Amino acid sequence: MADKRQQLLYKGDVCHGCGKTVEDIMARHGTVKRVFQFHHSDPDAKDPEYDNLIRRNLSTEQLNELDKCVLLCSFCHDLVEAQNIRTTVRLKIELAGRTGEQTFKGHIIWDAIEKRMRFITNEPFRLNPYNVVIGEAPRRWNLKAS
């Protein structure tokens, strides 16, 4: 069976919904068993053999499946499933006359009291601003899509 601790570390050790860390939960409650879950941002991408796959020894197939997921605490995972707000977000960055765009698919957790939402996706951020300095020339900003 795969080591759950390795899986949690691989996914960042933090709930992408509320920010609770595995370390905080462990220190406070002495366990993380059934507290953190892997959520597929795109349910259609979920391997039909997911339940068996995730329990096997750590493998390339298992890591590929985890790459399709975000780590959520059980409360945030239940909220995502209950609210079921799927959306697409387009991010556009304009920097020093250059423009870069990226589209993300994911879920939203809506907080009606604080009037804010959290966007949850497993898609990596690929727009990387960087600057170039050559000799005494002024700094020049660029955007690179990785």
Mean pLDDT per segment of 10 residues, for the chain of length 146 residues?
78 92 90 88 85 80 90 94 94 82 92 93 82 77 68
| Count of other CB atoms within 10 angstroms of residue 79 | 22
100-115 pLDDT, tens digit each = 889 999 999 999 999 9
pTM comes to 0.74
Give the residue from 141, 146, 139 showing the smallest Cα distance to 98.
141
Report the number of distinct structural domains present in the chain: 1
Q: How far apart are CA 9 and CA 13, in angstroms?
A: 5
The amino acid occupying position 85 is I
Residues 126 and 47: beta-carbon distance below 8 Å: no
State whether residue 86 is helix, strand or coil.
Answer: strand
Q: How far apart are CA 146 and CA 125, in angstroms?
A: 9
Query: What was the pLDDT predicted at 1?
Result: 39
139: domain range? 4-145
The amino acid occupying position 25 is I
